[in-house]
């Protein structure tokens, strides 16, 4: 039998013992883009322990006994960030069926679909997304389920419902009075005080970011695509309340007048920006307002007639597509802060990386397009733990074959995905 002093020593030894740290993992490849630099480094090395990065680059210290993942002729990059998604839904090849499904399918079924979309997005290399508008708090439920480890997917910044005026792009349009249980969408409000109250309601329901419809849109039936839909006073109330509650604010905005109102109100980003004029672009440059162009969303233009979309929607899509690339080129030339966003859901989920090609074709250097989806978006979304491969950051690492600064379409061929130190995809595993 142990003496009392021996028992005390044993108890103290057990109390001092701490769990051994998780084994380190070293991810190697031919090249590395850190998310901030203007060039790649070779060889690419990222040392990970647990869910954090210990070091990067050729001189990174490698702990003894570390497990090595060698990806060969590939480029390592930070986990990609998409600043404009709708990950809980997806447009099919039948406009009318989509409308009916939203009215008839149980919420549980729609929620299950959203988990499939989230998994696709993660496996495409996007470890963080900002979701700008969902129904029935599906985005919040999906965000929390991913956070709890119940389903695989990117970390999500949710907006709950977009805020907008009566009959705006953010409202429910096209149904006869009395056909629906709710005549207006959750985010509909008119006047500064009502708009301010809606911001508070979205935060109460779980919003990480506030989305507002400052102008008309393409896929709504009762508005002109570039028409302003909120006054500067209304936008000012929204931004003021969002910032007071420590939330960023993003404005769906195609038109120049609406964009100028939003920028003067202090909005953090303009989404789409199809018809921005020189004055609007200059104002954005002056205020540091980010442009999230969502170029690939206009792919739907060629599908809308086949989908049997309303004629007005088809025409608005044509107008936006004719203008957006000209606007984007001017934004690049003026040196605006350009962030990466896709509007996925309008396009198939999991194909987000095709946006890179459109950005480069529109005049961006490949390295700038890569920065837009990494460090630039990390700044826009206020998520400093991600967006670059640096010691201390979360271990979000993706890899693509070859060199994406020479062939940007390599970003569509993601072969490795690590999020929070866990490997979700490795196409080169033996």
Give domain status of residue 302, yes or no.
yes
H helices of 225-309, in order, are 232-244, 256-265, 278-287
How far, rounded to the nearest angstrom, does the alpha carbon of residue 5 sit from its chain's CA centroid? 59
Are 212 and 292 members of one domain? yes
73 and 86 both lie in a single domain: no
Q: Per-residue pLDDT tens for 281-298?
A: 999 999 999 999 999 998
Mean pLDDT of 204-210: 98
CA distance 218 to 224: 8
Question: pLDDT-based confidence at 6, cuts 50/70/90?
Answer: low
- 301 and 242 both lie in a single domain: yes
Which residues constitute the domain of residue 400? 22-78+389-426
Q: What is the pLDDT of residues 138-165, one digit of tens each?
A: 999 999 999 999 999 999 999 999 999 9
How would you classify the pairing of strands 416-419 and 397-401?
A: antiparallel
pLDDT in tens, 214-245: 999 998 888 899 999 999 999 999 999 999 99
CA 324 centroid distance within chain: 20
Domain total of the chain: 2
- Whether 266 and 295 share a structural domain: yes
pLDDT, average across residues 248-273: 98
- The C-alpha angle with vertex 165 and arms to 163 and 167, in degrees rounded to 5, equals 120
Closest CA to 125 of 379, 430, 404, 406: 404
Q: Where is the domain boundary, 302, 329, 352?
A: 352
Task: State whether 68 and 97 are in the same domain.
Answer: no
Global pTM reads: 0.93
Does residue 5 lie within any of the structural domains? no
The CA distance from 288 to 266, in Å, is 10
In this structure, the answer to whether residues 190 and 310 fall within a common structural domain is yes
Same domain, 68 and 116: no
Q: In what order do the strands lie in the sheet with 248-253?
A: 209-213, 248-253, 269-272, 290-292
pLDDT tens digits along 37-94: 999 999 999 999 999 999 999 999 999 899 999 999 999 999 999 999 999 999 988 8
Residues 34 and 70 in one domain: yes
Looking at the fold, whether 281 and 211 belong to one and the same domain comes out as yes
Are 65 and 101 in a shared domain?
no
Domain boundary residue, one of 352, 372, 397:
352
Say if residue 183 is in the same domain as residue 297: yes
For residue 43, whether the previous peptide bond is cis, meaning omega lies within 30 degrees of 0, is: yes
Closest CA to 76 of 428, 349, 382: 428
Who has greater pLDDT, 317 or 421?
421
Tokens of 390: 């640096």
SS3 311: helix
| Residue 192: CATH number of its domain | 3.20.20.140
Q: Is residue 357 part of a domain?
A: no
Distance CA 143, CA 148 (A): 9
Based on the domain organization, do 195 and 241 belong to the same domain?
yes
Report the CATH number at residue 421: 2.30.40.10
Confidence class of residue 18 from pLDDT cuts 50, 70 and 90?
low
- Residue 2 within any structural domain of the chain: no
């Amino acid at each position: 039998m142990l003496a009392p002093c021996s028992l005390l020593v044993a108890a103290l030894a057990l109390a001092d013992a701490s769990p051994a740290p998780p084994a380190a993992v070293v991810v190697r490849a031919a090249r590395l883009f850190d998310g901030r630099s203007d060039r790649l480094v070779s060889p690419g090395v990222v040392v990970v322990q647990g869910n954090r990065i210990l070091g990067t680059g050729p001189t990174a210290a490698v702990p003894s006994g570390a497990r090595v993942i060698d990806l060969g002729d590939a480029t390592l990059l930070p986990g990609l960030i998409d600043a404009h998604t709708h990950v809980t839904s997806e447009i099919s090849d039948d406009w009318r069926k989509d409308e009916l499904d939203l009215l008839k399918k149980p919420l549980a079924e729609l929620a299950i679909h959203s988990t499939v979309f989230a998994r696709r997005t993660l496996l495409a290399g996007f470890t963080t997304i900002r979701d700008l508008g969902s129904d029935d708090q599906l985005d919040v439920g999906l965000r929390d389920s991913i956070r709890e480890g119940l389903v695989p997917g990117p970390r999500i910044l949710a907006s709950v419902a977009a805020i907008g005026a009566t009959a705006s792009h953010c409202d429910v349009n096209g149904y006869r009075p009395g056909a629906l249980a709710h005549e207006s969408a959750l985010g509909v409000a008119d006047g500064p005080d009502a708009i301010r109250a809606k911001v508070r309601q979205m935060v109460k329901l779980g919003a990480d970011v506030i989305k507002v419809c400052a102008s008309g849109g393409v896929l709504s039936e009762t508005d002109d695509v570039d028409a302003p839909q909120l006054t500067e006073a209304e936008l000012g109330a929204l931004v003021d309340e969002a910032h007071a509650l420590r939330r960023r604010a993003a404005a769906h905005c195609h038109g120049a007048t609406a964009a100028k109102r939003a920028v003067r109100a202090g909005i953090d980003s303009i989404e789409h920006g199809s018809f921005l004029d020189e004055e609007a672009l200059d104002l954005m440059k002056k205020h540091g307002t980010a442009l999230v162009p969502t170029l690939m969303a206009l792919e739907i233009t060629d599908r809308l007639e086949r989908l049997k979309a309303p004629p007005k929607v088809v025409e608005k899509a044509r107008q936006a597509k004719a203008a957006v690339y000209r606007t984007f080129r001017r934004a690049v030339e003026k040196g605006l802060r350009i962030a990466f966003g896709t509007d996925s859901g309008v396009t198939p989920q999991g194909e987000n990386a095709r946006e890179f090609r459109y950005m480069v074709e529109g005049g961006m250097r490949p390295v700038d397009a890569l920065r837009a989806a990494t460090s630039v978006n990390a700044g826009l979304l206020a998520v400093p733990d991600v967006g670059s491969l640096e010691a201390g950051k979360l271990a979000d690492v993706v890899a693509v074959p070859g060199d994406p600064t020479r062939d940007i379409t390599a970003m569509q061929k993601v072969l490795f995905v690590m999020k929070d130190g866990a490997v979700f995809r490795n196409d080169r595993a033996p």
